[in-house]
Chains A and B, each alone.
Chain A
């Protein structure tokens, strides 16, 4: 039968199933194939903290959302056009994300009495029970069909059942007229040592595709045309990998070997894992005994001349707090990456939040300001990590990078940069004494920048001592009141002066007027989409999104001044709004806050603006 092919601008597909069903892989493969096809993509995984929660239960549902478009898209999408639900629990937990006319693909084999009971359904009709009104339901016995397919070609159906997710993927590929070639190549490469696995996966994928073509349930199919992207070489990148690569890039530019001391913690572990792979570029990683050792080994490595990094999430940053003070006091370069998750305490480890900003800004004893930066998209993590390392080394100070679970695990296509387009990094490494120094003064500063020099152990004649005790410029321990005040002020000034090197905050949309939306970090995509949505409705607002939090860009005050109302959007109770209140108390800051472990939904933002206009 002939299907009509309908052009659509963008589509959101949510793959969901049991946490052992391979939904993350299925979603990633769809995203990769779309990217190859030339679509814009944005993805986000939504998975439980339990590795294998009880099978078939709502707690064990793992999801992966893919948003593809024929023009620029900035978020993984709020609601989905297609939901793949591999079991009743997946359907139940994702029904709230369905668009009114969404297509639902279900594996009917799992919708038996037992499956429905595990998912907590009261009746045998889950669709009615969930009040799902639309009729775009592709109800396929996916398990049986996968088994049959493998049986017919003599493959072990028991082992092969794991690839039933590929059957579902095949259906989606048909639905969106996507070529299978890229996914087939992926299997050929991944299972190059096991031809049977290649055969199994490719057969089931193709069977799903063909099945979709043969059934009556699909009247029309869709196509998301390739977008007009800037020419160049592209790859998909997630935020955690981009952080790792940005740090490696900074290592190359500075000539300082990269050292990462870390302790595994969700959702930051991916950075340590990624760095551990890249020994070919001289990266040394140390999986430590705890978070404190993570930062302390990094401080040691920094003292010895490495670009030193420690990666963590909120609870880990709490543990590193004292040592971070040491790095401030010893005036050593250090990059601390916090991939934020929902807190406090263990909180919801796999869910995203922006609730560590106060901790990053203020969470230490004594007068201890640090530079704080926040990436705004998965690929922007590369840029942020690169500059964090540059600032840390050139200013001899710790820099905190506040990433988010949403960015760390989210991915997007990235036009691969050329390293020649990135600036050089020039750490103030010293090789010999100044004429006026009888011995090395570790805290003698550049009067312009307040930056001390980096004397590496092993350099003859520069022996000196650093540490947590207050010291004078010559490095002698001092409890002199005036020395303390001076050193406190100089260390603070050093952080403030970074502002001269950072880009001004840009205003997107209206340059001035009634409303300025303010945001920072990983909410950028949603804010940008909301601004563009509002503009399409004839509502003019400005959007100022901050990548640098401490110090703030020099034009911040001037930007805030241009608008009558300022509303700060963040995934916390108002950390950035309060920070702005302390910096620029002359303005009034409205707030829109969400603390649900979930990213914003675009319509929440537009609604908040509409309410403001009422």
Chain B
């Protein structure tokens, strides 16, 4: 199937604020879907974009695909219903940190636990934007917002760690400003069978500007983030001389060439390792101690919920003597009145 990004653009005017990180994610997905179609043979009408409530949840209106703009927090449940009902569809859930980690937290973890084959794009700007600036479940300690005038006193969620805790099979992280990486990750997510959670560290230019700037500014990005790729050593830094090693139970940054460290000492990323211990540590890396992990952190094969539901239906129907309602109504204990 040959498509261009234009085929996925709707005629609706995009109403996000100028400078909002969402624009870049929209562009990345509109570029990714033609690639997905080419790779997996998906026709245009097979895509369904589902969302909850929030700025990012306006996404379906800007995509020229089937779309469902749901209610706050429930996109994962709606997407689950769509996928179970028709497993041939490619279902994309667009959600924010408030939508899927506060009001919709329950649906998110259960979607991941079931490993339903949907792609969840979590726009994490650490703030409630559409309601004009209240703290969210990912707001960092002490964040001053309209509802936390003296700073928050809550631990933030780490979406990756949450996904690992729910035994997720796919987790990736990207930055809104890393358009090419985002596009690449979306294609990876689409080709993964199971729940693919993609966290986009995204900037809210109005209510939480520069929330990710410490790591996303171009001048520091290479030193403060690491792009993980399966099978490649965990090397980062402007000079490409920094790497990650395991020091006891912890990850540690080392410099290649110092203290006798060579490239061979650096951990090689294995996204396909079933044990999520190291993946969890990678998810939880925070600057300045460690670089923030980007890329596909975890991608393991497992059975998907929608496949198993479908298979059970086929297996049971094949064995059953009941083929229609009239058979069923007459099955079991009945008696004849003459």
Contacts and interface: CB of A to CB of B under 8 A. Distances in A.
Nearest to B65: A463
B77 A231 contact: no
Given A289-B107, A460-B45, A303 B82 contact: yes
B234 to A, nearest CB: 35
A466 B81 contact: no
Contacts of A249: 325
Nearest to A261: B81
Interface string A271-292: 0000000111111101011101
Contacts of B89: 304, 457-458
Given A235-B335, A463-B66, A468-B69, A457 B60 contact: no
Interface string B263-287: 0000000000000000000000000
B85 A284 contact: yes
A104 to B, nearest CB: 30
Nearest to B80: A297
Contacts of A415: 337
A282 B313 contact: yes
Interface in A361-417: 415-417
Interface string A455-487: 011111111111111000000110000000000
Contacts of B335: 35-36, 233-235
Given A235-B333, A296-B70, A464-B66, A419 B325 contact: yes
B64 A463 contact: yes
A459 B330 contact: no
A252 interface: yes
B69 A259 contact: no
Interface in B82-111: 82-86, 88-89, 106-107, 109-110
Contact of B106 (A293, A306, A461): A293
A525 to B, nearest CB: 21
Contact of A458 (B61, B69, B86): B86
A231 B336 CA distance: 7
A8 B317 CA distance: 47
A323 interface: yes
Interface string B32-71: 0000000000011110101101000000110011111111
B309 to A, nearest CB: 6
Q: Interface extent on B, as a size class?
A: 35 or more
B317 A297 contact: no
A538 interface: no
Given A292-B74, A293-B77, A330 B337 contact: no
B329 interface: yes
Interface string A128-152: 0000000000000000000000000
Interface string B309-323: 100110111011011
B290 to A, nearest CB: 33
Given A261-B81, A304-B86, A460-B44, A234 B334 contact: yes
Contact of A245 (B309, B324, B329): B329
Nearest to B88: A458
B86 A235 contact: no
B239 interface: no
A558 interface: no
B247 interface: no
A236 interface: yes
Contacts of B227: none
A467 B50 CA distance: 9
B329 to A, nearest CB: 5
Contacts of B110: 288-289, 293
A410 to B, nearest CB: 17
B131 interface: no
A248 interface: yes
B257 interface: no
A286 B81 contact: yes
Contacts of B71: 296, 322-323, 325-326, 468
B74 A293 contact: yes
A305 interface: yes
A195 interface: no
Given A231-B338, A235-B335, A245-B329, A299 B81 contact: yes
A458 B68 contact: no
B112 to A, nearest CB: 11
B45 A457 contact: yes
Contacts of B319: 280
Given A35-B335, A235-B334, A465-B69, A301 B85 contact: yes
A300 B81 contact: yes
A125 interface: no
Contact of B328 (A231, A278, A467): A278
B12 interface: yes
Given A292-B74, A300-B79, A233 B67 contact: no
Contacts of A300: 50, 68, 77-85
Q: Which of B46, B50, B67, B319 has the most CB of A within 10 A?
A: B67
B260 interface: no
A271 to B, nearest CB: 15
Interface of A: 32, 35-36, 38, 229-236, 245, 248-249, 252, 257, 259, 261, 278-284, 286, 288-290, 292-293, 296-306, 308, 322-323, 325-326, 330, 415-419, 456-469, 476-477
Given A35-B335, A259-B85, A300-B82, 4 more contacts: A286-B80, A289-B106, A416-B329, A419-B325
8 contacts: A231-B337, A233-B337, A235-B332, A259-B85, A279-B315, A280-B316, A304-B83, A467-B70
